[in-house]
């Protein structure tokens, strides 16, 4: 003879189903938002300097050269997107100066990320400094990558 599940067991099964569905919807929305944000940012960064999304400018004053980088970053996702860019000298060159940049972009919006690097004019082609790009899909995930700033400066020059 088969026993009927108790009321508690049926209630727990219903709660389990609801939690599973909510979890699936949350994970799907985070995945979609992450994909949309990555596609939007890579679409802008992958463009050539001077295009509508990326602007570089090199200014030499006296013994120093400053490279200004302005990137229009879209947020095509469902959650706020935070992007920060900073740098640290490496390889013994301590004259590298950075203006740290950071923006928080609401869903469906776009912001301009302003970043500047100043180096001695004689060292500009041979910069050895690491830039840290921090990206966060608030409040769920974040990551940081380190890129060679020498490529950025030689590209902008």
Q: Which domain holds residue 128?
A: 29-156
| 156 pLDDT higher than 70 | no
| 22 pLDDT higher than 90 | yes
Per the DSSP assignment, residues forming a β-bridge with 102 are 84
Domain count, the chain: 1
105 part of a folded domain: yes
CATH of the domain at 97: 2.60.40
pLDDT for the residue numbered 100: 81
14 part of a folded domain: no
11 part of a folded domain: no
Q: What is the mean pLDDT of the chain?
A: 79
151 CB neighbour count, 10 Å cutoff = 11
19 part of a folded domain: no
33-45 tens-digit pLDDT: 889 888 887 777 6
| 107 pLDDT higher than 80 | yes
| 92 pLDDT higher than 60 | no
51 part of a folded domain: yes
Q: Which residues contact 52 (CB under 8 A, 6 or more apart)?
A: 72
């Amino acid at each position: 003879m088969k026993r009927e599940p108790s009321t508690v067991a049926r209630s727990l099964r219903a709660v389990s189903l609801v939690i599973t569905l909510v979890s699936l919807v949350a994970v799907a929305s985070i995945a979609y938002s992450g994909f949309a944000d990555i596609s939007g940012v890579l679409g802008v960064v992958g463009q050539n300097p001077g295009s509508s999304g990326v602007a570089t400018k090199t200014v030499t004053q006296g013994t120093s050269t400053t490279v200004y980088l302005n990137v229009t970053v879209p947020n095509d996702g469902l959650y706020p997107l935070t992007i920060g860019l900073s740098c640290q000298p490496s390889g013994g060159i301590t004259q590298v100066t950075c203006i740290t940049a950071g923006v928080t972009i609401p869903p469906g919006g776009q912001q301009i990320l302003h970043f500047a690097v100043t180096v001695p004019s004689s060292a500009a082609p041979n910069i050895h400094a690491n830039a840290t790009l921090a990206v966060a899909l608030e409040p769920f995930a974040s990551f940081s990558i380190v890129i060679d700033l020498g490529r950025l400066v030689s590209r902008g020059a």
